[in-house]
Amino acid sequence: MATNDHGEHAPIDRKADITIVGGGLAGLAACIEVATRNPSLSIVLVEKEGKLGGNSAKASSGINAALNDDDAPVFEKDTLESGTGLAARSLVDVFVRNSRDAIAFLEKQGHVDLSVLSQLGGHSAKRTHRNTQGPNVGFAIVSALQKLITDHIESHDWHIDVVTSASAEQVLFENDRVTGLVIDRVDKTGRDEGAGEPLRETIESSVVILATGGYSANPELLKKFAPGVEDFPTTNGPWARGDGIGLAQQLGAELVLMDKVQLHPTAFINPKDRSAKHKFLAPEAIRGSGALLINSSGKRFVNELATRDKVAAAILAQPSKDAYMLLFEGAKDMETTLGFYKHMGLVQVAHSIEEAAALCHVDAFVLQQTLNDYAEVSHSQQPDAFGKTVFPHPLHYAEDVTSHMEIHVMEVAPAVHYTMGGVKINEHAQVLRSDDSAIAGLYAAGEVSGGLHGANRLGGNSLAECVVFGRIAAQQAVQQLAH
């Protein structure tokens, strides 16, 4: 029988072979992997929000995978270089080797369209996959996987109990191994309305997989581990509080790279609420489709396809600490995504350089010169003054500032987007103590874990990490139960 943190026997309300905490992409991938490998196993999927998806549903740039065997070492090199020497090579190796299978898994299990390829910042090739139309890629993926799970539950093929509006409070541990999970659940019948106390339940389970995400919406944790970044707005939902990190710490888990917090360089500035603490992400795929960044003088100042840390630092070095992002022909690639942001009033469309300059409050002739300089170098295919070597949708020379030219204009600034730190895991997704011993029965996948990305994450690696390590955690859990 499970015991709580006071050593008392906890009453059992549910039993499951495997309990998964977190209903984002890592949790969904783990759930499906368990069910497909052994449909007889019982699974409880715990999600603290009222619906599944988490930050994964907000992802919009795509999911990475090595293009082929030749690209695998290049992808690994890009990931390690982005991590500035702090990425765990063993995790990167496993991640890259399994990345193509992750795409195949999504296409097979969820019938997700991932046919569009783009090249994001810090990548040496077009290896970021996204859908051709419909909602943003993250939402498309989690919606498809959620539907798959729902269909199998309704047909009684899989033994899955999805518990939403439930927070995980404690991983139970006895005789040196995981024995269950304590949750606080909102009573959907409404019996607890006004009572102020959630219903406490205990799940008996010999495996717990943590897939709870990071802590980008927890100012207290950010201030503790990375002082200063808590003052920035965040692109994350309010659920990103680092819950799984606290759960793992209770069992002696080692934490790594907790001070490594990613500022995404381009979060939309809402003209109606410029100081909002939550900002919509301006997807990196926009820059991957040829968008340029200009400062308050109407000039470029950075390689738009450098790694996120470098682009963010360059924007923060500007006197205004923000920038305008201009998208040209590449808008056709982003039509579906841009439609949502236009509706939100975050993207404006100019029909000439003169109109765009007015929206950016810069001199039209300075902007014309900036764009013509870029047009010249982009057609030469030589590195520009900022080291840019990839030029998606090269510009055409503009004869004058009033000629017709469709330009999508966005005002952007850096925001807290991702936390590279988390619980330490090995290549089997087992949660580790400080002596590298595994905590028996405890696994972690996705942003709750640390080590894969080092000091800086490449765009598109987060969704891929969720699928790769969510599946690995599930495979290891099934194997553990078989013994």
**3-state SS class at 218:** coil
Considering the candidates 127, 287, 300, 308, report the single residue annotated as catalytic. Answer: 287
Taking residues 350-377, report their average pLDDT: 98
Q: How many residues does the chain have?
A: 483
Is 392 a residue whose pLDDT tops 50?
yes
**pLDDT tens digits, 47-90:** 999 999 999 999 999 999 999 999 999 999 999 999 999 999 99
Q: What is the pLDDT of residue 180?
A: 98
Q: What is the pLDDT of residue 329?
A: 85
17 CB neighbour count, 10 Å cutoff: 20
Domain residue extents for the chain: 14-216+420-482, 262-415
Give 8's pLDDT tier (boundaries 50, 70, 90).
Answer: low
Considering the candidates 14, 185, 264, 457, report the single residue annotated as catalytic. Answer: 264
Alpha helix ranges (H) inside 351-413 = 353-360, 364-380
Average pLDDT over the chain, rounded to an integer: 95
Active site residue 287: yes
Q: How far apart are the first and last CA of the chain?
A: 20
Q: Does domain 262-415 have CATH number 3.90.700.10?
A: yes
Closest CA to 418 of 89, 61, 93: 61
Q: What is the pLDDT of residue 4?
A: 56
Q: What is the pLDDT of residue 277?
A: 96
Q: What is the pLDDT of residue 10?
A: 60
Q: Which CATH architecture has domain 14-216+420-482?
A: 3-Layer(bba) Sandwich (3.50)
**pLDDT tens digits, 91-132:** 999 999 999 999 999 999 999 999 999 999 999 999 999 999
- Pull the structure tokens for residue 477: 């859990």
Q: What angle do CA 119, 121, 123 make, to 5 degrees?
A: 60
Is 11 a residue whose pLDDT tops 80?
no
| Rg for the chain, CA atoms, rounded | 23
Q: Which residues contact 6 (CB under 8 A, 6 or more apart)?
A: none
Q: What is the pLDDT of residue 9?
A: 56
Is 143 a residue whose pLDDT tops 70?
yes
**pLDDT tens digits, 254-283:** 999 999 999 999 999 999 999 999 999 999
Taking residues 346-375, report their average pLDDT: 98
Is 192 a residue whose pLDDT tops 80?
no
Share of the chain above pLDDT 70, in %: 96
CA gap 95, 457 in Å, rounded: 13
Q: What is the pLDDT of residue 299?
A: 99
HEC string of 308-329 equals: HHHHHHHHHCCCCCCEEEEECH
Taking residues 291-314, report their average pLDDT: 98
The least confident of 28-42, 240-254, 373-387 is 373-387
Is 297 a residue whose pLDDT tops 80?
yes
Q: What is the pLDDT of residue 189?
A: 55
Give 335's pLDDT tier (boundaries 50, 70, 90).
Answer: confident
Instruction: Please say whether the beta carbons of 96 and 460 come within 8 A.
Output: no
CA gap 443, 215 in Å, rounded: 18
Q: At what angle do helices 89-110 and 25-37 cross, to 10 degrees?
A: 70
- Looking from the CA of 22 toward its CB, the CA atoms found within 13 Å total 34
Q: What angle do CA 426, 428, 430 make, to 5 degrees?
A: 65
Q: Which residues contact 326 (CB under 8 A, 6 or more apart)?
A: 291, 292, 293, 294, 356, 360, 407, 408, 409, 410
Instruction: Please say whether the beta carbons of 445 and 3 come within 8 A.
Output: no
Q: What is the pLDDT of residue 6?
A: 44
